[in-house]
Structure 1
Amino acid sequence: MNFLDTILGEILKVFRQEGIEANSDDDLISRLDIRQGTYRELFKDRNEMVRQVVLYDMQEQEKKDQQMLQNAVNPVEEIFLVLQQGIKELRQLNPAYLADLQQHYPEVWQLVVEHLNTYNYHLDLDILNRGILQGYFRKDINLQLVRR
């Protein structure tokens, strides 16, 4: 893990616990115990910082998913693991984080929505297709309906 990943991870923790707008840039700089110049080198502005944090979060979630799914015995267990992980993540997430994204950073929120519509969509369909091929699910299942 490099310096930037460490900083992004720490900011993400703060955002997930308190929301984005709960802390100013100066508050974050103080909490991270870094110089303002270092912060400005890493992030040209607050929008860019939020964007980088969200992209980092999505990458980390994908890594967690892959590690988690490697331990699954079959597609049925994979579905349950994905659902359980999603519920766990939502329970640990301060709703202000999502509200702040939607209200103050609509471009970044759009990245989140697109990620859900691409990565998660394909992950779910892959699990369902393997389940059909392996005989765990009916062949006449409506994948689009089940996925929704």
Structure 2
Amino acid sequence: MAPTLRETLLDEAYQLFLREGIEANSEEQIAGILDVSPATFREMFRDKADLVLQTIQFEIDRQKREHAALFAAEPNAIKRLLSLLEIGIRDLRKVSPQYITDVQLYPAAWDLSLQHLAEYSGPMMHQILNDGVLQKMIRGDINIGLVTKIILEMVNLLLNEQVFPPSRYSIAEVYRSIYLYYIRGLCTDEGIQAASAHFARM
């Protein structure tokens, strides 16, 4: 099914924000870049803040579809976990450091991002860890709730520009360094063997 005009505009706007940040262009400039008239823009988005909010929701929905397809194809919990890590690294390589700073200027969009982390990413991670323990891919002596919390809190560490200034660190490389070795430490010998191909290419 071909994307609708709204979906096309949301995808193009999101890619623009990732490349240049949100504040690099005014609402009028964004409409020009998207090649829509101001009237058409206003029909779809109340203002720039509404556009930012809708792009976040659009990306969340896309991520959920990608995760559903991944999980349908891969029953192994540790491979699921490492595939999510690969997706995260891939996505973060597209992100301008300015985007992370700018999106926090839009409270509704930032709150939606945090809500998604708490209500979707948290339960998903908890389930994957639990499945990994049952499959004997992840150590059985871990506190699943605590490990889930640690993994989510690492996102805050990753986004803390005081700790990892974007001028000095690649956000994708920080993400890889934070998560890859921690996840490896959660694995049983069987889990490490099952995930060896992932570890080798990451």
CA deviation profile, 1:86-134 (whole Å, cap 9, x unmatched): 12211221111110011x2122111101111111111111111111222
Q: 1: CA distance between counterparts of 2:68 and 2:18?
A: 22
Supply the RMSD in Å over aligned alpha carbons.
1.4
**CA shift for structure 1 position 68:** 2.5
Q: 2: CA distance between counterparts of 1:41 and 1:142?
A: 49
| Aligned-partner residue type, residue 25 of structure 1 | E
Secondary structure at 2:70's aligned position in 1? helix
CA deviation profile, 1:11-59 (whole Å, cap 9, x unmatched): 0010111110111111111111111110010011111111111111111
Q: List alignment gaps of at least 5 residues for structure 2.
A: 151-202
Match of 2:50 among 48, 51, 56: 48
Q: 2: CA distance between counterparts of 1:67 and 1:8?
A: 22
Match of 1:32 among 21, 29, 34: 34
Secondary structure at 2:69's aligned position in 1? helix
Q: 2: CA distance between counterparts of 1:22 and 1:72?
A: 40
Q: Which moved more, 1:74-83 or 1:25-34?
A: 25-34
Q: 2: CA distance between counterparts of 1:67 and 1:41?
A: 33
Q: Determine the structure 1 residue equivalent to 2:25.
A: 23
Q: List alignment gaps of at least 5 residues for structure 1.
A: none
Q: 2: CA distance between counterparts of 1:134 and 1:79?
A: 13
Q: Determine the structure 2 residue equivalent to 1:141.
A: 142
CA deviation profile, 1:44-82 (whole Å, cap 9, x unmatched): 111111111111111111112222333325101011111
Q: Which runs of 4+ in 1 moved over 3 A?
A: none
Contact 1:69 1:81 (C-alpha < 8 Å) held by counterparts: no
Contact 2:133 2:139 (C-alpha < 8 Å) held by counterparts: yes
**Percent same amino acid among aligned pairs?**
34
TM-score, with normalisation over the residues of structure 2?
A: 0.68
Contact 1:75 1:136 (C-alpha < 8 Å) held by counterparts: yes
TM-score, with normalisation over the residues of structure 1?
A: 0.91
Contact 2:27 2:47 (C-alpha < 8 Å) held by counterparts: no
Q: Determine the structure 2 residue equivalent to 1:122.
A: 123
Contact 2:78 2:137 (C-alpha < 8 Å) held by counterparts: yes
Q: Determine the structure 2 residue equivalent to 1:61.
A: 63
Number of positions where the alignment pairs a residue of Structure 1 with one of Structure 2:
147
Q: 1: CA distance between counterparts of 2:41 and 2:18?
A: 20
Q: 2: CA distance between counterparts of 1:94 and 1:119?
A: 24
| Aligned-partner residue type, residue 81 of structure 1 | S
